[in-house]
Structure 1
Amino acid sequence: MTRAARSIRLSLLLSATLGLVAPALASNAVAQEVAPPPTPNADRLAEQMRILATDPRNVPALLAAGELSARLNDPAAAAGFFARAQALAPGNPRVAAGQAMVMVRAERPGEALRLFALAERGGVAMAPYASDRGLAFDLLGAQPHAEREHRIAMAQGADDETARRFAYSLGISGRTDEAMKVLDPLLRRSDRAAWRARAFILAMNGDAAGADRIAASMMGGVGTALAPFFRRLPSLAPADKAFAVHFGELRRTPSRIADAQVAPPFPAIAPVQVAAAPPPPPQPRARATGSQPVAGSSERGLSARERRTQEAAAARQAAADAEAKRIADARAAEAAEAQRRAEAARLAEQQRLEMERVAEAQRQAEARRLADAERAAQAQREADARAAQERATREADARRAAEAATASAAAPPPPAAPVEVARAPAPEVAPQPAPRQPAPRVGSEDNVIARIMAGITIPASELGVDPLPGRAPEPEPVPAPAAAPAPVVEAAKPKPEPVAKSAAVTKTDPKAKSDPKAKAASKAKPKIDPAKAEPARHWVQVAGGADLKALPRAWKAAVADAPAEFRGKQAWTTPLRFTNRLLAGPFKTATAAQEFVNAIRKKGVESFAWTSEAGQKIEKLPVN
């Protein structure tokens, strides 16, 4: 958890009431408002800042400014001042003491006590830092040491913050009455922070109802939100209570455990020095008279010896008591140190176990993630394989369909059925249509599309080949000279017999001889062989469509997807029944065409190789 997050949580849980008094401290626009309380620390900080403005390298001013900033709860500014002082005077022990003040406010009491001990060894008096040292001991659960430091701070003229810290320390120790006596002067002045401290002290000692009443009356709308916090306080350890009431931290984090191990051994608590009672003043001796017996002087001498003996015995007893006290204190300190080390070891073991649990959970989570990723990858590979297989199947089907369609388009139309013509001079008989040939079959089953397409013929001129024999170039059918006439039957007979083929060949229609169009056709120049003009070539079909105007856009789209592969390639087109092919090429070999297909397919352009037949007309397609 970051420092900012803890500050936000602390402001919500613990310091919400400070916002109620902030306007009174910040507002000076209305003259009738009560004057804010004096701020001696802020005034002294302003004085040090004036010194630093004229002398930025003044180390005492930097140290004083850092300590005052820390007491004003601005640890970031304090750390900056101490860093500058450290750079100017690296061996100054006051820098360590100031950094310890910052560490206490940064929730690192162990590091703070280490720095305080370093400063103390350097000769810095610890009395001015007693309040911060007491708070550090509270945060580590060392209540006797904390109480001693707080009492030292209180004896030096405590401010409000020092009094509240002392009250918290007494409350953590379970001494509620003493804590309330320390808070009483602040409560009489309606110090809201003191009322908050009173609520927390009551809660941590089991009086959650009393804490709720104070929260409801003094903490505004956040009072009810603190009820769960109040009820959890009594179950916490002393160090956890201190972190809860000072920083709002209820959870013992690994960083806290690590910081506690940095703390130096706690010093033995010295016994309270009690002033020795002065000896009674010597009684004036009466002047001896002659009437007094001699035995009086022996009694006085005996009393002196007894007094010396008693004094010696008292001295020996005092020394023995002092030695016993020293030994007891040393043993208590050793026991406390052993307890602290045992607690630190227990916390370290707990942290180790927690880290092992976290590491194991992370390993299991990573294993699950890898297993899930492997399953997802396997599923993706299987899906890709299925998609590739389906795509290959579709492309093969499309290639076979295109080749079948191309073969059907290039095949000559079926010959016309024979027509029976009436014999002259008998009257003409209506031609009888011959039975239609069965529809072509695709594979082993009839194909409806093939039957429809069988009735569609493409003119030879559009295919770029010569007209087939028996079909004149004119719209009206004119029999060609070389065409064999259909067999003729007699109209009078019920079973007409066809005329012999030889006779039909020698007998011609006189109208056909005199027809000028037929003469022009017979005199027409012979055409170039289509097989030589349009030889068989290898192409790659990249698109198709019935609208020739849309083919340039399709070509540009394919070029945009694979510009490098289409560089230098020309667009061509050829009709395919009721649609048109969009071709790239020609290629020298079928292998080169297939390599081009593989190259542009990687760029997302669907295509297939195709070989045109000899005589099939292929035209360039303008794309600009």
Structure 2
Amino acid sequence: MAALIDAGDAAIGLGDVAAAIGFFGRAQEIAPTNPRISLGMARAYTLSRRPVEALRLFAEAERGGIPLTVMAAERGLAFDLVGDAASAQELYRLVLSSGPNEDIRRKLALSQAISGDRVGFEATLLPLLEKGDFAAFRTRAFGLAILGDTDAAVGIARDMMPGAASAQIEPYLRYMTQLTPAQQAAAGALGIFPRSSNVGRDDPDIAAYTGSAGTTATTAGSNLAPAGAPLGSRAKARTAREPTSDRRTRRDQRRGAERSGRRQAPPSPAAAPPLAPPPPAQETPAAELPALASSGELPAVTPDPSSVETQPSPAQDEAAARAAAPLPQPLPARALPPVSLPPEPRESVLEAFAGLDLADGASTAPRAGAVDIRSIEVPRETNEPPKPAIPSRNWVQIATGRDIAALAFDWRRITRSAGGELAGKKAFTAPWGEANRLLAGPYESAREARAVVAKLTAMGVDSFAFTSARGEEVTALAGTDAAPNGPPPAPANPARNWVQVATGRDRDALGFDWRRISRKADGALKGKGPFVASWGATTRLLSGPYDSEAAAQDVVTQLKKLGIDSFTFSSKDGEPVEKLD
């Protein structure tokens, strides 16, 4: 069961929600009341746009002892997906109170925009914008569109994205004000837009959501108050208003319908949630949003079983009928007829056909009009040697990614920072879910691979040992060379600290911007530029380099006093930063 739960969590981490639901469903068959399974299923249902069911499962997990802090991030998103921004923001702030989390900060900002809090939205997002977080600019575009500042949102999309992509996303931004809060959350957080016929109209289950006690976050002591009707009241009331003969007739009707396959038993409150993944919809994933022009639709959510009145199922009625029926009496003993055993089997096929030899003088020639099968050449299998199976081998995994070309870049970057520990080893890739492993090796043994991992970890290089299974395909990474011996030479573009003063696509225009800004800077930028670096579809205009990030921050503070917007930027090892002519 623990392995199935871990597999479900890993599937969610890889974005395979359907597989996660399958793993948690199998674990639920073993332990139906385990709160970790309820938590995992709730996380999967949130990502598959079934927030009402997810909130019910989050509540079950909390009642089972899962701390609220463990589920606060995903539970907050589920609240946003039903339009309850206040509860969502409370949980997002709970997550941020334990430490910085850029993803949750972006979700909190989006939720504040949905609830109309522009001041809070801008303040929450500002630290990420100052760091140059590309995803924060995307969130700002969605937030501004939700708040009605559509032109500013479209302007951000045009500045940060290529022309074709920004043109495709522009219609979505212009429709954001027409969506419901739940639809705005799905669009901004998951990249899922409703069909045009459903714009401004929530799914029935979401529209009917009222934040019942079964789905909202609970506070300390809230579970101590008694709730619901007294024990036995529902059963007594149903018995009082329904004669026994009527109940028996209704039970027989249900049995007949069940046998004919026209009806299924209603779920009981303790029944497990559906294990099948949600039906596929025309979705717009957040990472591929500009590539799609059609809109998606949230799948229907099954009703909360806790809101359905408990009725005895046909299986329960049938069990009760069997319990009331008299036990069958054993049959009287009688003598069994003698059993004749078959003859002993022959030991071999040759012995079985021993009596079919041709008599002496018999002819093998075909009869008149028959086909002479002796003249037919039957194709025979050749005794070619089998292809050698791919053996199991030992590797060191140093990165993962979907883009093979990007993995080649990662290989060159990591081997430079590995201090010669990967010397002589070549780069390989192996599929891993929807991504690919980047591997160094092979190594003679798993122990040797683990020793290399320990050395790389001490140098700050993330890695772990990996053993490929027998027959598992591991492919050499094209366009890469073996890792060099010894420490690599200093990179042409080492990591450095800069101050970013503007962005733009036209470098000639950036040269004009530099002259304008440097005049206004009153000597603060003298001798420090201009430099440029690529940033998505646009270009950074930089001054520097500076000895430290603190020195760069001092310049930012000085420029701010002069009315010049800027922020610090740290380039990575190997990241090109060029002098602007």
Larger Rg: 1
TM-score normalised to the size of structure 1?
0.32
TM-score normalised to the size of structure 2?
0.34
The structure in which a higher percent of residues are helix is 1
The structure in which a higher percent of residues are strand is 2
Whose RCO is larger (CA < 8 A, sep 6+)?
2
